[in-house]
Structure 1
């Protein structure tokens, strides 16, 4: 259990620093901006209590808000992502897996499940992020284009990180 907490804290620090130092300055004419820091929330252990998930998501969002000079926009999007995560886990995972402390990674859950999880979760996060940020339906096509392009950009970066950190499962354990 201690190893899981330390791994998640290290992952948190690395992804927050990368988001602030590198990805904050990346973008395509303010139309597409990557937010791979949400990988922190995707990779939290499955058996984590809902209250802890919501608190951690809110604090993660506030941390990003502090560096982006936004007031609660990322916090709202992260809480929406955790709501989606809880719902997605309930409808797609078996009870014994939900009660375990496995990290829902590509190598543990399989590509089909993981890609659906990341794709839908990223869309939920980005949709809430941009709708709350704009808080208007006046330029809805521009907002939806930003959601789509930013989601694609974020998903590509998350899958690159997934490929770089992929651990092959042992055949002896199966």
Structure 2
């Protein structure tokens, strides 16, 4: 349990620093942005309590809001992502897996499950983020386009990060 806390603490610091230092300045004409810090919420243990998940998601969003000078936009999007995570976990995983404290990574869950989990989570997060940020239906098409392009960009960045840290079980057993 202590190892899980240490890994998640390091993961939190690294992803927030990457978001603030690198990805805050990367974009394409205000149309697409990348928010890979949400990988921290995706990779929290499966069996974490819902209250703790919502609390961690809210605090993660507030941390990013502090660096982006936004007032609760990222916090709202992260809480929506936590809600999606609970829903997705409930409809796709068996009870034994739901109660485990495994980290839902590419190598643990398989590519098909992991990629759909990340892609739909990115869509939910970005949709809430951009709709709360715009707080209007005036440029709804632009907001939807920005949501879609940013989701694809974030999805690709998260897959790249996951690929860098991908460990195959067969490789670990053979050592």
Please classify the TM superposition score into its range, dividing by the shorter chain length.
over 0.9
TM, length-normalised to structure 1: 0.98
Q: Give the distance between the partners of 2:156 and 2:113, measured in 1 at CA.
A: 16
1:40-88 Cα deviation digits (max 9, x unpaired): 0000000000000000000000000000010000000000000000000
How far does residue 170 in structure 1 lie from its aligned partner after superposition?
Answer: 3.1
Q: Give the distance between the partners of 1:72 and 1:63, measured in 2 at CA.
A: 10
Q: In the alignment, what sits opposite 2:128?
A: 128
Q: In the alignment, what sits opposite 1:92?
A: 92
Q: In the alignment, what sits opposite 1:30?
A: 30
Q: Give the distance between the partners of 2:114 and 2:169, measured in 1 at CA.
A: 15
For 2:131, what is the secondary structure of its paired residue? Answer: helix
Gapped regions of structure 2 (runs ≥ 5): none
TM, length-normalised to structure 2: 0.97
Q: Give the distance between the partners of 2:23 and 2:119, measured in 1 at CA.
A: 19
Q: Give the distance between the partners of 1:7 and 1:125, measured in 2 at CA.
A: 23
1:66-118 Cα deviation digits (max 9, x unpaired): 00010000000000000000000001000000110000000000000000000
Gapped regions of structure 1 (runs ≥ 5): none
How far does residue 145 in structure 1 lie from its aligned partner after superposition?
Answer: 0.8
Q: What value does the CA root-mean-square deviation take over the aligned residues?
A: 1.1
Q: In the alignment, what sits opposite 1:151?
A: 151
Q: Give the distance between the partners of 2:18 and 2:115, measured in 1 at CA.
A: 22
Q: How does 1:100-111 map to 2 (within 5 A)?
A: 100-111=100-111
Q: In the alignment, what sits opposite 1:83?
A: 83
Q: In the alignment, what sits opposite 2:165?
A: 165
Q: In the alignment, what sits opposite 2:69?
A: 69
Q: Give the distance between the partners of 1:156 and 1:119, measured in 2 at CA.
A: 9
1:125-169 Cα deviation digits (max 9, x unpaired): 000000000000000011011101100110010000011000111
Q: In the alignment, what sits opposite 2:13?
A: 13
For 2:169, what is the secondary structure of its paired residue? Answer: coil
Alignment of 1:114 onto 2:132: no
